[in-house]
């Protein structure tokens, strides 16, 4: 599972997983691309229909699999294609941040931004800022931390990662 | 002493409060039926067998080993490995063994802070010399040893392979009885199953009919802050009832007693991270559309991790607080 992670060759560059809603932020990222705006290649963009589709479990899973930051982009309040999906995102991410903070995951590693389809420049700016902020924090690299935590116990026999691995293979 | 015709059963406790052992005793008359059908060959809390008695048995000769409690010390780990080797079925018994349970909340700290708290800073502790338990101590030519205290609390299946899970804090006598019967008759679900229904608790709750489809709460309340209406869904009254995201099987004992579900049965099989799933559910249940309004509502949840991962922090996808403990330090 950990090996499947896409990242830079030496593993020292942070990886940011970005969930962009198809109607606004993904289109804006497209625009940034066609307008040849530059942003660092650390971001892996996942297109979702709505920022409201981003189950907080996705965010936690991204961190668990080695993401150093997670960026969520959705339509501005009032502009959601599904009327109130982004309001749910606002509440969920605010609550998730409180949980993650207590778990030692810094606030800067999770960012929610409203970016409309025409704001290609904002995509580039937000990604630049976030990569900078996460670089300053250093890598989170949970898979490596987990190996460190496990070094204290007798050799593993249990299917520690089984539930998530099973989930990934059935595509749920 | 042991009767070779009866299946042999072992019970063991790891980092446990004793409530799971109590649940076995709570079988009341049922326990006699169990004792009649099986031969209990190891149960440290009740019977005087030793670890060496278990070690002396052939591998795989114990039919079922029930292990409760989370795994925190080297001794608990060794016992988990030993019982795994000796037993055909290893059952994680109770929330602590299943998901890490209440002791798993210690994963919000590391070993050093736990020891510092317990042997130094706790208000009831007087320990001017800063004495702490030692793993080995030599005096008068005699060596005394204690198990190693790990940095991280683990679920049983993070240490050894587990065949079945009996959820609950503690599991109800009925679930335990059903499980014993299923094992004895060989009528078992696929390996790795949780031995309880795979639906949400609301399904078994007598207040379900009063639960609205859409909740627009403006604050969350704790049970001592409100006069609870016993005939209305607790969540709709603003109490953080975790029934919608918790596995059924307890028959909604807590909501029936005006106590919101705290999630001890863990999630259904579709959930991969209990806390994150609850963040999702709770985020949909309240009404606030500006960052300020959201913060105001969320301030009514004083302890999000303790609320959403009360029984499952070690089983969460993050597993523990992401502190900067080095592997070498952790390995001590
Ligand atoms: S599951 Fe509950 S009753 Fe059993 S040992 Fe843990 S805290 Fe005690
Ligand atoms: S009281 Fe709790 S368990 Fe019962 S229906 Fe409401 S949310 Fe579900």
- pLDDT score of B98: 98
Per-residue pLDDT of chain B (332 residues; tens, 9 = 90+): 555 678 899 999 999 999 999 888 877 677 777 778 889 999 999 899 999 999 999 999 999 999 999 999 999 999 999 999 999 999 999 999 999 999 999 999 999 999 999 999 999 999 999 999 999 999 999 999 999 999 999 999 999 999 999 999 999 988 988 888 888 888 889 999 999 999 999 999 999 999 988 888 888 999 999 999 999 999 999 999 999 999 999 999 999 999 999 999 999 999 999 999 999 999 988 888 899 999 999 999 999 999 999 999 999 999 999 975 544 444 44
DSSP B58: P
Report pLDDT digits (tens) over A36-85: 888 889 999 999 998 889 999 999 999 999 999 999 999 888 878 877 88
DSSP B158: G
Interface test with B, best of A56, A88, A113 (most B CBs within 10 A): A56
Distance B91 CA to ligand 1 centre (A): 14
Distance A96 CA to ligand 1 centre (A): 27
Q: Which atom of ligand 1 is nearest to the CA of B168?
A: 1
Residue A96 near residue A59 (C-beta atoms within 8 A)? yes
Cβ–Cβ below 8 Å for A152 and B318: no
Beta pairing class for B71-73 and B136-139? unpaired
Q: How many angstroms away from the CA of A50 is the closest CA of chain B?
A: 14
Spatial CB neighbours of A105, under 8 Å, sequence gap ≥ 6 = A63, A140, B318, B322
Q: How many angstroms away from the CA of A76 is the closest CA of chain B?
A: 12
**Residues of chain A neighbouring B309 (CB-CB closer than 8 A):** 99
Q: Which band of pLDDT confidence, cut at 50, 70 and 90, is reported for residue A3?
A: very low
Spatial CB neighbours of B251, under 8 Å, sequence gap ≥ 6 = B172, B204
**Residues of chain B neighbouring A172 (CB-CB closer than 8 A):** 270
Nearest CA in chain B to A148: B327
Cβ–Cβ below 8 Å for B331 and A162: no
Beta pairing class for B87-93 and B164-166? parallel
Cβ–Cβ below 8 Å for A61 and B317: yes
- Rounded to the nearest integer, the mean pLDDT of chain A is 84
Cβ–Cβ below 8 Å for A61 and B277: no
- pLDDT score of A169: 38
Residue B83 near residue B10 (C-beta atoms within 8 A)? yes
- pTM given for the model: 0.89
Q: Has residue A164 got a pLDDT over 60?
A: no
Interatomic CA distance for residues B321 and B134, integer angstroms: 25
**Residues of chain A neighbouring B279 (CB-CB closer than 8 A):** 56, 92, 95-96, 99
Peptide bond into B170 cis (omega under 30): yes
Beta pairing class for B142-145 and B136-139? antiparallel
Query: In the numeric block, which tokens belong to residue A171?
Result: 């595509």
Nearest CA in chain B to A89: B283
Distance B98 CA to ligand 1 centre (A): 10
Q: Which atom of ligand 1 is nearest to the CA of B22?
A: 3
Spatial CB neighbours of B320, under 8 Å, sequence gap ≥ 6 = A149, B107, B108, B152, B153, B313, B314
Residue B160 near residue B76 (C-beta atoms within 8 A)? no
Mutate to test the pocket of ligand 2, among B199, B200, B205, B239 (most ligand atoms within 8 A of CB): B205
Q: How many angstroms away from the CA of B203 is the closest CA of chain A?
A: 23
Q: Which ligand is nearest to the CA of B230?
A: 2
Start-end of H helices in A35-157: 56-64, 85-102, 120-137, 142-150
| Residue B105 Cβ contacting ligand 1 at under 6 Å | no
What backbone phi and psi angles, to 5 degrees, belong to A133? -65, -40
- pLDDT score of A106: 95
Q: Has residue A172 got a pLDDT over 70?
A: no
Cβ–Cβ below 8 Å for B305 and A95: no
Beginning with the edge strand found earlier in the chain, give each strand of the sheet holding B39-42 in spatial order. B39-42, B8-13, B62-68, B87-93, B164-166
Interatomic CA distance for residues B150 and B153, integer angstroms: 7
- pLDDT score of A81: 82
> Would you call A4 exposed, middle or buried from its count of C-beta atoms within 10 A (0-12, 13-18, 19+)?
exposed
Percent of all residues in chain A with a pLDDT value above 90, rounded to a whole number? 58
Of residues A19, A53, A61, A55, the one with CA closest to residue A163: A61
Q: How many angstroms away from the CA of B35 is the closest CA of chain A?
A: 30
Nearest CA in chain A to B306: A99
| Residue B79 Cβ contacting ligand 1 at under 6 Å | no
The interface predicted TM-score of the complex, written ipTM, equals: 0.90
Q: What share of chain A is helix, strand, coil (3-state, %, to 5)?
A: 50, 15, 40
Nearest CA in chain A to B90: A158
């Amino acid at each position: 599972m950990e090996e499947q992670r896409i990242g830079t060759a030496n593993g020292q560059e942070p990886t940011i997983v970005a969930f962009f809603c198809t109607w606004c932020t993904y289109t804006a990222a497209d625009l940034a691309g066609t307008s040849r705006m530059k942003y660092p290649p650390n971001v892996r963009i996942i297109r979702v229909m709505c920022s409201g589709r981003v189950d907080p479990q996705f965010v936690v899973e991204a961190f668990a699999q080695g993401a150093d930051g997670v960026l969520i982009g959705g339509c501005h309040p009032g502009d959601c294609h599904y009327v109130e999906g982004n309001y749910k995102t606002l509440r969920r991410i605010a609550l998730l941040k409180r949980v993650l903070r207590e778990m030692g995951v810094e606030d800067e590693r999770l960012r929610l931004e409203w970016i409309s389809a025409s704001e290609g420049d904002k995509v580039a700016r937000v990604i630049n800022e976030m990569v900078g902020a996460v670089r300053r924090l250093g890598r989170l690299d949970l898979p490596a931390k987990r190996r460190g935590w496990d070094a204290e116990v007798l050799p593993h026999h249990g299917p520690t990662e089984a539930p998530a691995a099973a989930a990934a293979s059935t595509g749920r | 002493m042991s009767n070779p015709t009866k299946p042999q059963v072992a019970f063991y406790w790891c980092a446990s409060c004793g409530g799971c052992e109590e649940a076995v005793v709570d079988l009341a008359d049922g326990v006699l039926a169990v004792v009649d059908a099986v031969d209990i060959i190891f149960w440290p809390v009740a019977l005087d067998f030793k670890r060496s008695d278990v070690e002396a048995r052939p591998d795989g000769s114990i039919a079922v080993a029930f292990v409760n409690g989370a795994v925190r010390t080297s001794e608990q780990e060794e016992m988990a490995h030993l019982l795994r080797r000796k037993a055909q079925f290893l059952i994680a018994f109770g929330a602590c063994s299943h998901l890490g349970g209440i002791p798993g909340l210690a994963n919000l700290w590391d070993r050093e802070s736990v020891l510092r708290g317990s042997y130094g800073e706790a208000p009831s502790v007087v320990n001017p010399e800063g004495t702490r338990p030692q793993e080995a101590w030599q005096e008068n030519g005699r060596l005394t040893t204690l198990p190693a205290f790990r940095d991280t609390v683990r679920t049983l299946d993070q240490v050894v392979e587990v065949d079945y899970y009996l959820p609950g804090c503690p599991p109800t006598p009925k679930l335990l009885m059903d499980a014993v019967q299923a094992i004895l008759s060989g009528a078992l679900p696929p390996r790795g199953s949780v031995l309880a229904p795979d639906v949400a608790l609301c399904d078994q709750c007598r207040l379900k009919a009063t639960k609205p489809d859409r909740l627009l709460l403006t604050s969350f309340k704790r049970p001592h802050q409100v006069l609870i209406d016993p005939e209305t869904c607790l969540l709709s009254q603003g109490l953080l009832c975790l029934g919608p995201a918790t596995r059924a099987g307890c028959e909604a004992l807590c909501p029936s007693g005006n106590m919101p579900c705290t999630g001890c049965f863990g999630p259904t099989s579709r959930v991969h991270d209990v806390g994150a799933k609850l963040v999702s559910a709770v985020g949909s249940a309240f009404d606030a559309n500006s960052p300020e309004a959201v913060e105001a509502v969320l301030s009514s949840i004083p302890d999000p991790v303790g609320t959403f991962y009360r029984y499952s922090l070690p089983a969460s996808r993050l597993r523990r607080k992401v502190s900067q403990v080095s592997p070498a330090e952790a390995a001590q």
